[in-house]
């Protein structure tokens, strides 16, 4: 579903991505592991158009999306979460989820003037948002502005925003940081359930939690994907199996 070919990103000559070629299968939960600074977030940012690639290609279901603008990539079906949460700080928790709905009919100039053309969609979105907030244990905070949330709650809000979208591919950058283990397992179980219609690519360091849910693993080292025979790759597999 997602293919990168020889993807390269330079920062002042430093190769943060050094020819990354990967394939992510549809309806899978794929993990990207790797030490701090190995290029995992840079890979996500380059796939999603937040960074301009200096070389290589990105394809989504066969269509080249390399260096498209983030909103164009979002329209094609990729939603992402951020390692450092990016909420709309002055909007409430509920509003943050509602703005994540793609292609809301009320956003069209002519349709927004006719309530009947968007009321139903909005009511459905509110219902879905409350279901997600309850699941993420954020429902009591639905009317709280995002800037008042704790670090862990902001991470959950990111997850909620991603799950509100009907994206074909959801990429999550360390979604479980600061989330209690019980809820983290519930979130991963939910992702597994949603794999029927969505594909997940996640970066996560908490192997003891993700191990049971992952279909495939890529390991990044110094901006490259580690070979499956390499010591770095085997070490990650050992840790995942051990946990």
What is the contact surface with ligand ATP in residues (CB under 6 A)?
A: 11, 16, 34, 36-42, 83
49 binds, among ligand ATP, Mg ion, none (CB under 5 to 8 A by kind): none
- The answer to whether residues 69 and 240 touch, using CB atoms and an 8 Å cutoff, is no
Min CB(83)–ligand ATP separation in Å: 6
- Closest-CB residue for Mg ion? 41
Q: How far is CA 65 from CA 73, 74, 114, 160, 216, in A?
A: 7, 10, 35, 25, 23
Residues near Mg ion (CB under 5 A) are 40-41, 83
CA dist 93 and 149 (Å) reads: 9
- The answer to whether residues 224 and 18 touch, using CB atoms and an 8 Å cutoff, is yes
In terms of CB distance, is 40 or 168 closer to ligand ATP?
40
In terms of CB distance, is 41 or 81 closer to Mg ion?
41
Min CB(36)–ligand ATP separation in Å: 3
11 binds, among Mg ion, ligand ATP, none (CB under 5 to 8 A by kind): ligand ATP
In terms of CB distance, is 160 or 175 closer to Mg ion?
175
CA dist 235 and 211 (Å) reads: 13
In terms of CB distance, is 161 or 224 closer to ligand ATP?
224
- The answer to whether residues 207 and 48 touch, using CB atoms and an 8 Å cutoff, is no
38 binds, among ligand ATP, Mg ion, none (CB under 5 to 8 A by kind): ligand ATP
Min CB(7)–Mg ion separation in Å: 16
- The answer to whether residues 184 and 156 touch, using CB atoms and an 8 Å cutoff, is no
CA dist 217 and 241 (Å) reads: 12
181 binds, among ligand ATP, Mg ion, none (CB under 5 to 8 A by kind): none
Min CB(164)–Mg ion separation in Å: 23
Min CB(88)–Mg ion separation in Å: 22
* DSSP character string of 143-175: TSBGGGS-HHHHHHHHHHHHHHS--SEEEEEST
């Amino acid at each position: 579903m997602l293919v990168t070919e020889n993807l390269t990103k330079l920062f002042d000559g430093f190769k943060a991505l050094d020819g990354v070629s990967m394939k992510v299968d549809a309806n899978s939960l794929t993990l990207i592991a790797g030490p701090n600074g190995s290029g995992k977030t840079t890979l996500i940012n380059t796939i999603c158009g937040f960074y301009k690639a200096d070389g290589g290609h990105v394809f989504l279901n066969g269509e080249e999306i390399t260096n498209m603008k983030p909103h164009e990539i979002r329209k094609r079906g990729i939603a992402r979460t951020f390692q450092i949460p990016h909420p709309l700080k002055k909007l409430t928790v509920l509003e943050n989820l509602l703005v994540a709905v793609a292609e809301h009919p009320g956003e069209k100039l002519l349709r927004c003037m006719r309530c009947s053309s968007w009321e139903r969609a909005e009511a459905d979105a509110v219902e879905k948002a409350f279901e997600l907030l309850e699941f993420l244990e954020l429902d009591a905070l639905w009317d709280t502005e995002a800037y008042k949330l704790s670090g862990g709650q902001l991470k959950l809000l990111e997850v909620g925003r991603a799950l509100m979208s009907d994206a074909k591919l959801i990429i999550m950058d360390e979604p479980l940081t600061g989330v209690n283990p019980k809820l983290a397992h519930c979130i991963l179980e939910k992702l597994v359930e949603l794999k029927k219609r969505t594909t997940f690519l996640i970066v996560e360091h908490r192997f003891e939690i993700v191990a049971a849910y992952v279909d495939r693993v890529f390991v990044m080292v110094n901006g490259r994907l580690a070979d499956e025979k390499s010591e770095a790759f085997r070490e990650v597999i050992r840790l995942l199996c051990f946990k």
